Amino acid sequence: MNENYIEKSLRQLPSVDEVLRDGRVTEMLKKHPRSVVIEAVRAAVAGERKEILACGVTEQQDQKKEEYLYRVVEKAAAAVRRSVRPNLRRVINATGVVLHTNLGRALLSDRAREAVNIVAANYSNLELDLDTGRRGSRYSALESLLSSLTGAEDALVVNNNAAAVLLALSTAAKGREVIVSRGQLVEIGGSFRIPEVMAQSGARLVEVGSTNKTHPDDYRRAIGEETAMLLHVHTSNYRIIGFTRETSVSELVEIGREYKLPVMSDLGSGFLVDLSRFGLPQEPTVQEVLGAGPDIVTFSGDKLLGGPQAGIIVGRRHYIEKMKKNPLTRAIRIDKMTVAALEATLREYLDPEKAISEIPTLKMLTEDREVLDKRACEFALLLESVIGKGKAEFKVEDGLSAVGGGAMPTADLPTAVVAVSPQGISAGDLQAALRRGEPAVMGRVQEDRLVLDLRTICDTEYQLIAEAILQVLK
Ligand SMILES: *Cc1c(COP(=O)(O)O)cnc(C)c1O
């Protein structure tokens, strides 16, 4: 490359102003913010100039002005598309992990979504009692629904379960000691760790027992002047099996009565309907745990309950009243859209059978195996017809889904999957390309095949997935 070439090429390169006058760019300017388009054009021109100066591309030698203009506009258009695209966007979950924390956990029911829409678009009586015209509580409907569904004396809802645990500890045990079994010092993804939440709350952690065994007497021996509470944490995302002994909530309640100490149970993923008849592990419902007599129970809104992100606290009025007065409650309160979604979700539970068919999380978890098989066959046929047999092979197979969200870690749910073996590209590359697509599709790679689990895919997504795969394999 010589200087002449570089100079000649630079003369051919359109200026930013020239590009901005191009018809395609003026169209972009009508649709998108001016600053975004200008920035994209500047960057595209600068990029092209850099390439010329680096003499990187030999075939550029004879490029004409229109060719440069075309390339710059193409690059700018791609950059504009990237920058106006929202960062948070739809993902199709074909992983079979029903409560996928990275993918936003629970999907809301139709009713919950409608309720969110209404309060998002309109004024509402969030903190107004329409009967009296006086100030009302944003929690009032949630409190009465939670009390009637769980049998608790009172309830409170905060931002998430981590906040619920923090608030409960800070209210009932600040500056004093809380006794927990060494087998229950849970870490949830995203750095929620019981010892750290405890430290934040101002309560002091007293560990008792060993990882695999904690006896009631271990708690009794640790109780002293400074003890404020006995805490039971559901080991929601792991299991200790083999030579084990856990002190149950009801045993803790007994000890609590002996020593006049409150007992709290952090359930993590609490749920209101028993799903064991659908082959899920038998775990106690919130109602059953409350029946054992603890003073405070906390659980998440967006785990097995299948609602919005929230932390639900149910239990004795004495403690809940105190929590409501804690200034921390204001800092971790829920917004109106969460109130709306949670109220609608809880209303579904007034008819438990309907809840199972209406709440997406429950519907996916209890989906009939035969239905999954049938859907897998339909999906495989559709994939074949859209993509064509030459580009990939599609096989319906047995698979295993997971509950996810740190709940029921040992539950393997038999499912039906479609395994895609792409031609000329590895399953890993197909997986990565689908993840970057629009909409993004998330699948699992197994034995160099991309596995798509029907449990978390809905019928309306078949075509979108097929087109996304076709885009990659074309
Ligand atoms: C998931 C979980 C939490 C945290 O709940 P978030 O709603 O995610 O804040 C706390 N404790 C246990 C036992 C959990 O399983």
353 and 369 fall within a common domain: no
242 and 310 fall within a common domain: yes
- Domain-embedded: residue 105: no
26 and 68 fall within a common domain: yes
Q: Whose CA is nearest to atom 2 of ligand 1?
A: 268
Q: What atom of ligand 1 comes closest to residue 405's alpha carbon?
A: 1
Residue 274: what pLDDT?
Answer: 94
Establish whether residue 268 lines the binding site of ligand 1, counting it when its CB lies within 6 angstroms of any ligand atom. Answer: yes
231 and 146 fall within a common domain: yes
Q: What atom of ligand 1 comes closest to residue 165's alpha carbon?
A: 10
Which segments of 307-408 are extended strands (E)?
311-315, 392-404
Q: State the CATH number of the domain containing residue 141.
A: 3.40.640.10
Contacts of 293 (CB under 8 A, 6+ apart): 249, 250, 253, 263
Residue 237: what pLDDT?
Answer: 77
Establish whether residue 192 lines the binding site of ligand 1, counting it when its CB lies within 6 angstroms of any ligand atom. Answer: yes
pLDDT (tens digit, 0 to 9) for every residue of the chain, 474 residues total? 566 778 888 888 999 999 999 999 999 999 999 999 999 999 999 999 998 888 755 555 567 888 899 999 999 999 999 999 999 999 999 999 999 999 999 999 999 999 999 999 999 999 999 999 999 999 999 999 999 999 999 999 999 999 999 999 999 999 999 999 999 988 876 678 888 889 999 999 999 998 888 999 999 999 999 999 999 999 877 788 888 888 999 999 999 999 999 999 999 998 999 999 998 988 899 999 999 999 999 999 999 999 999 999 999 999 999 999 999 999 999 999 999 999 999 999 999 999 999 999 999 999 999 999 999 999 999 999 999 888 999 999 999 999 988 788 888 899 999 999 999 999 999 999 999 998 999 999 999 999 999 999 999 999 999 999 999 998
173 and 279 fall within a common domain: yes
* 250 Cα: distance to centroid of ligand 1 (angstroms): 21
Q: Whose CA is nearest to atom 7 of ligand 1?
A: 161
Distance between CA atoms of residues 440 and 102, nearest Å = 13
- Domain-embedded: residue 95: yes
Q: Whose CA is nearest to atom 5 of ligand 1?
A: 161
Which residues span the domain enclosing 401?
91-100+365-473
401 and 339 fall within a common domain: no
Q: Whose CA is nearest to atom 14 of ligand 1?
A: 268
Residue 62: what pLDDT?
Answer: 61
Residue 56: what pLDDT?
Answer: 53
Q: Domain end: 307, 342, 358, which one?
A: 358
Q: State the CATH number of the domain containing residue 392.
A: 3.90.1150.110
- Domain-embedded: residue 52: yes
Q: What angle do CA 420, 451, 97 make, to 5 degrees?
A: 160
* 408 Cα: distance to centroid of ligand 1 (angstroms): 13
Residue 26: closest CA among 42, 14, 36, 37: 37
Q: What atom of ligand 1 comes closest to residue 311's alpha carbon?
A: 7
188 and 241 fall within a common domain: yes
Domain count for the chain: 3
Distance between CA atoms of residues 323 and 407, nearest Å = 27
Q: Whose CA is nearest to atom 1 of ligand 1?
A: 268
140 and 52 fall within a common domain: no
- Domain-embedded: residue 393: yes
Report field, pTM of the whole predicted structure over 0.85: yes
134 and 247 fall within a common domain: yes
* 299 Cα: distance to centroid of ligand 1 (angstroms): 7
Burial of 90 from C-beta contacts in 10 A (0-12 / 13-18 / 19+): exposed
388 and 253 fall within a common domain: no
Contacts of 454 (CB under 8 A, 6+ apart): 372, 375, 376, 379, 415, 416, 417, 418
Establish whether residue 408 lines the binding site of ligand 1, counting it when its CB lies within 6 angstroms of any ligand atom. Answer: no
Establish whether residue 399 lines the binding site of ligand 1, counting it when its CB lies within 6 angstroms of any ligand atom. Answer: no
Residue 126: what pLDDT?
Answer: 96
Contact present, 403 and 413 (Cβ < 8 Å): yes
Q: Whose CA is nearest to atom 15 of ligand 1?
A: 268
Burial of 123 from C-beta contacts in 10 A (0-12 / 13-18 / 19+): exposed
Q: Would you list the DSSP string of 192-249?
A: EEHHHHHHHHTPEEEEES-SSB--HHHHHHH--TTEEEEEEE--TT----SS-B---H
Residue 239: what pLDDT?
Answer: 81
Residue 205: what pLDDT?
Answer: 94
- Domain-embedded: residue 445: yes
Residue type, position 316, single letter:
R
285 and 390 fall within a common domain: no
275 and 147 fall within a common domain: yes
Q: Domain end: 358, 386, 413, which one?
A: 358
Q: Domain end: 358, 381, 397, which one?
A: 358
